[in-house]
Amino acid sequence: MKRILSAIVALILSLPAMTVMSQDEAPKTPFAYPVAPDTCSTLESRCNYICQHFWDNYDISKPIASDEDFLRAFRDYIEFFQYAHRNVVLSSIADLMNKARSNTPNLLKVGKAAELSLFFPTAVYYSDEVYVEFAKALASNNSLKKEVRTYYADQLSRINSCQEQKPLADIDLVMPDGSKQKLSAMSDTTTTVMFFYADGVDSSIGRTRLSADANLESLIDEGVVRVISVYLGKYQPGFADAMPAKWVNVCSEQALETYDFRALPCCYIVDSNQVLLTKNLSVDELKEGLTN
């Protein structure tokens, strides 16, 4: 439904000027958005044009007067990414970041808008491929403070360690008896659900709801799926006492330092070759997937 609504918005905003809504009906925007010409006859071509010209009527070199308005415009901007050509999107991002370099506070606000819209739980949609273009520009900009560059470099490292459709970075795991083992040494012929959790009420509720899921229980019994629960804290005897006996229960501080977590608890799904299929699923999303 969200994609359908976004497509409708894209079509409306890209209609020729003579056919747009009246001034009273048109949604207010922080500045005048571009209008695709009649020669752009497809949704992709219209979105390509808008991505290329979105910021033409906005001077990013001047101080941003309203952070709220800028974030709203930024979110409108990235909505078109989903329907534009990949190369156009990457070129548009590079152009925006290059222009924003002339004003360091603005550059930082672009980075924050990208985090809120593409990376954090508040994201309009998640796209590592798109977000890393913003993060790379910030991590490599020597005009920014070292701690800022390090912040974005750390994000890039985490994203690169767990890219979908690529092998998941190997980490050290601590077993309930205190022995250590590499994740790669726990290879299995089944699909693995990795359930990451920390201390707190949310993790406790997530564990309880997941362990009570009849569909997951059935898949485990059939040998189709296994669950590795990973406590993201320091090892302490008894840390796994409350976990289901059918799960492989471990802890790993290294996972917290290495992997990309947007919120906890969350789940990764890994195939038998330790290739990451998907990440940062909530318990609800995983449970919904198990019913389909």
Ordered mean pLDDT values, 10 residues apiece, the chain (292 residues): 38 38 58 94 96 96 93 96 96 97 95 95 89 97 96 96 94 96 90 95 94 94 95 95 95 95 94 94 92 77
| Start-to-end Cα distance in the chain | 18
d(CA 274, CA 43): 38
Burial bucket for residue 51 (CB in 10 Å: 0-12, 13-18, 19+):
buried
d(CA 2, CA 106): 30
By three-state DSSP, how is residue 232 classified? coil
d(CA 53, CA 69): 18
| pLDDT tens-digit series, residues 74-123 | 999 999 999 999 999 999 999 999 999 999 999 999 999 999 999 998 89
Provide the pLDDT for residue 245. Answer: 94
d(CA 169, CA 128): 16
CA nearest to 232, candidates 183, 188, 283, 195: 195
Residue 38 CB neighbours (<10 A): 8
Q: In sequence order, what DSSP letters do the residues of 48-77 get, joined into one string?
A: HHHHHHTTTT--TTSPPS-HHHHHHHHHHH
What pTM did the predictor assign? 0.81
